[in-house]
Amino acid sequence: MRLILASQSASRRALLEAAGLAVDAMPAAVDEAAIKESAKAEGMTPTDAALLLADAKAARIARRHPEAMVIGADQLLVCEGEWFDKPADLGAARRQLLRLRNRAHELVTAVVVWREGERAWHHVATPRLAMRDFSEAFLDDYLAREGERVTQSVGAYRLEGLGIHLMRDIRGEHTAILGLPMLPLLAYLRDSGVVRR
């Protein structure tokens, strides 16, 4: 069965391809900011909001490709009840990282699969990360070295890069931190006959 990733995320696609899956990537045009605002206004939990976002992306692509199995994913960063978005620029990334410094946060990572016109499966992982009490000099050097790449992540860091230096503790599946909980997804794909058991 054809697999489609409803995302333009290079890291999610790389995770699927590294696991030996042939996947097409198609960005889903959904208004993520509006969905998040609506979810907050309705009092949704971060888990429900992340699922809503992942589902909206998968549904958008699944309607155009009903023959395919469509994977949608989204991730919210939550620190002490506050929801964070991808920083708009380096200045916003600096402010966000200072807010997260010496605090723990969760990456609420949702994945859904649409098949034959409906949501067939979903999973939410909540890795927990704690940033160390880094200096502002370190932060400025980090941002100078990482550049605009920090704006591509909800946490303003890439653990597969220099972002690992920001952390003092990490708990949870590494692939979920990168944006796609691969172990439960692969189990579902095996159970569905998409990959060998």
* pLDDT(197) > 90: no
Residue 196 pLDDT grade (very low, low, confident, very high; cuts 50, 70, 90): confident
DSSP 67-102: TSEEEEEEEEEEETTEEE---SSHHHHHHHHHHHTT
Within-domain flag for 196: no
Per the DSSP assignment, residues forming a β-bridge with 73 are: 111
Within-domain flag for 61: yes
Characterise 172 by phi-psi region: left (phi > 0), alpha (psi -120 to 50), beta (else).
left
Within-domain flag for 23: yes
Within-domain flag for 139: yes
Within-domain flag for 132: yes
Calculate mean pLDDT across residues 21-48.
Answer: 93
Calculate mean pLDDT across residues 129-144.
Answer: 97
Provide the number of structural domains found in the chain: 1
Between CA 148 and CA 110 the distance in angstroms is 25
> Where are the extended beta strands (E) located within the chain?
3-5, 24-25, 69-79, 82-84, 104-115, 118-125, 128-131, 167-171
Residue 194 pLDDT grade (very low, low, confident, very high; cuts 50, 70, 90): confident
Q: Token pair 């200096």 is at which residue?
A: 135
3-state SS of the chain: helix, strand, coil percent to 5?
45, 25, 30
Between CA 177 and CA 170 the distance in angstroms is 9
Between CA 68 and CA 130 the distance in angstroms is 38
* Global pTM value: 0.92
* pLDDT(140) > 90: yes
Given the residues 24, 31, 55, 74, select the one marked as catalytic: 74
Within-domain flag for 18: yes
For residues 28 and 75, the answer to whether their CB atoms sit within 8 Å is no
Within-domain flag for 120: yes
Task: Look up 74 and say whether it is catalytic.
Answer: yes
pLDDT in tens, 64-120: 999 999 999 999 999 999 999 899 999 999 999 999 999 999 999 999 999 998 999
pLDDT in tens, 151-169: 999 999 999 899 999 999 9
Pairing type for strands 167-171 and 128-131 reads antiparallel
Within-domain flag for 153: yes
Find the CATH number of the domain harbouring 76. 3.90.950.10
User: Residue 155: which domain range?
Assistant: 3-191
Percent of the chain with pLDDT over 90: 89
